[in-house]
Copies of this chain bind each other. A is one copy, B any other.
Amino acid sequence: MEGGQTLLFLTDEQVRKGIEAMFFAYRGFTADPDRILADMAYGRAHHRAIHFIHRSPGTTVNNLLSILGVTKQSLNRVLRTLIAEGLVESRIGRRDKRERHLHLTDEGSSLEQRLSDAQRDRMRAAYRAAGPAAVVGFRQVLEAMMDEDMRRQFDGMRDRGQ
């Protein structure tokens, strides 16, 4: 099936199908955490912040900004509520006191768990349904689809991973 390298492989129709698949899949991808968050006063923006703080504990605000690709005003609104509700802790930097290092509290970690469990379950199910070879391809295409600087971010994370 995949040995093809057929010439028809890159028809507009094929590519358009890929575009729509991306659209529908992304909806599924966010659906489960969205449902959990809807019950609280939080949204997808909070989820993203929590995810990356969990991912890189002690990260600075500036750091998070460049990963999330939003303005500091926008991120600040989210962080403010997360800090106020005791999900995130902001510690003044020891070396550079201008910096704020972000950590999840226990309560924050537990929400992170719930959210990522839901999302991981779906991702895991999709992986299992498609099989290991498909997953490799999936990751290759996604990575090729990123912007240059995001790919760098992403690859950097991979190195630090585990």
B-binding residues in A (CB < 8 A): 1-6, 9-10, 12-13, 15-29, 31, 48, 55, 69, 116, 119-120, 122-147, 150-151, 153-154, 157-158, 161-162
Contacts and interface: CB of A to CB of B under 8 A. Distances in A.
Contact of A135 (B18, B24, B120, B161): B18
Nearest to A162: B13
B124 A22 contact: no
A139 B18 contact: yes
A142 B153 contact: no
Given A1-B136, A28-B146, A138-B138, 15 more contacts: A12-B120, A13-B161, A17-B161, A18-B123, A20-B157, A22-B25, A22-B26, A23-B48, A24-B151, A24-B154, A25-B141, A31-B147, A126-B141, A133-B137, A135-B137
A2 B120 contact: no
Contacts of A153: 24
Contact of A154 (B13, B21, B123, B157): B21
- Please give me the 5 A-B residue pairs with the lowest Cβ-Cβ distance, nearest first: A137-B137, A134-B137, A2-B133, A126-B144, A25-B142
A29 B133 CA distance: 23
* Residue among A123, A128, A145, A147 facing the most chain B CB atoms (10 A cut-off): A145
29 contacts: A10-B124, A12-B120, A13-B161, A15-B120, A17-B139, A17-B158, A18-B127, A18-B135, A23-B48, A24-B154, A25-B141, A25-B145, A25-B146, A26-B26, A27-B147, A29-B145, A122-B145, A126-B144, A129-B140, A129-B144, A130-B137, A130-B141, A130-B144, A134-B137, A134-B141, A135-B137, A136-B137, A138-B140, A138-B142
